[in-house]
Amino acid sequence: MEWAFDKLGVYDFFNLIFSGGVFVGGLHLVGFTPLLYLANKIAIPENNVFMLTAVMLICYIIGFELQAVGLWIGHNVLKIPSGMTRAILRRGESIIENEEKLKIYQEKANELFKKKSILTSNDSYSDEQCEYFFAYCNYFLQVNAQSKKVERMRGVKGLSTLYMVCFSTLFLIGLARGLWILLYGAQLNDLESILFFTATFLLLAITSYCMMETNTKYWIRMVLGTYDACSDCFCRRK
């Protein structure tokens, strides 16, 4: 469990609070008021510090849940990181567009596979071999304490995923709220503003998805590039 606490910095903590706050604010924009509901239903002492702490705790829990959903969707539904890492060594499929860089990474992989007695045929790499090489690069950087920049990029990627889930969920809630108003004819005066914010959430969700995809590419390229530079430095020292 120690590694989990190492990853959870102040930056990550406030990201979860802020994303949870954005989600709660979005709920209010589409006609749901969870904070007012809690204030009316639960006997909370009228103390500013206590109220602020309670709101931050609620936002943190919501942000944490959004992050968990984002991780699950990323690995089991969208499969963007795994889809990219499974082809990093294959020409024509890799996100490494620079041919010279790709050759260098293939040479590094061949050296590793030879050392580990992993057989390859005519520089044809399987999904498992590509994943193994990327995982090895990641572990190498962590073990040798060279992963600070990589972890920052991973955090930016995770933040994009977090907001994609946040705005996608708000879009679905806003859409359901708009349909309910149309079907039952209640609160028609609010329909225009709800549809506007719902469309805004959809746009933000699409933008966050595109950012997540772009940041994932940058993260993978950064892992490989940092590994290449660091492995050369360590070889010279030896």
Selected residue with higher pLDDT from 20 and 120: 20
In the predicted structure, residue 201 carries a pLDDT above the cut 60: yes
Distance CA 10, CA 154 (A): 15
Q: What are phi and psi of 141, to 5 degrees?
A: -65, -40
pLDDT (0 to 100) of residue 120: 78
pLDDT digits (tens, 9 = 90+) for 77-110: 888 888 888 888 888 888 888 889 999 999 999 8
pLDDT (0 to 100) of residue 1: 36
Mean pLDDT of 155-159: 86
In the predicted structure, residue 5 carries a pLDDT above the cut 60: no
- Return the minimum-mean-pLDDT range out of 30-44, 51-65, 176-190: 30-44
pLDDT (0 to 100) of residue 224: 92
pLDDT (0 to 100) of residue 92: 81
pLDDT (0 to 100) of residue 9: 59
Q: Which of 34, 68, 47, 235 is nearest to 166 (CA)?
A: 68
The pLDDT confidence band at residue 236, using thresholds 50, 70 and 90, is: low
For residue 71, what are its two tokens?
A: 């991780």
List CB contacts of 32: < 8 A, sequence separation 6 or more. 173, 177
The pLDDT confidence band at residue 237, using thresholds 50, 70 and 90, is: low
Q: How is the chain split into domains, by residue range?
A: 2-78+144-237
As a whole-number percent, the residues of the chain with pLDDT over 70 amount to 86
pLDDT digits (tens, 9 = 90+) for 6-52: 444 566 788 889 999 999 999 988 888 777 766 666 666 666 677 77
Mean pLDDT of 155-184: 89
pLDDT (0 to 100) of residue 214: 92
DSSP string, 136-164: HHHHHHHHTT--HHHHHHHHHHHHHHHHH
For residue 19, what are its two tokens?
A: 């994303």
In the predicted structure, residue 138 carries a pLDDT above the cut 70: yes
The pLDDT confidence band at residue 188, using thresholds 50, 70 and 90, is: low
Distance CA 224, CA 187 (A): 55
For residue 171, what are its two tokens?
A: 């879009």
In the predicted structure, residue 229 carries a pLDDT above the cut 90: no
For the chain, give the mean pLDDT: 83
Selected residue with higher pLDDT from 132 and 232: 132
pLDDT (0 to 100) of residue 22: 93
pLDDT digits (tens, 9 = 90+) for 210-227: 999 999 999 999 999 999
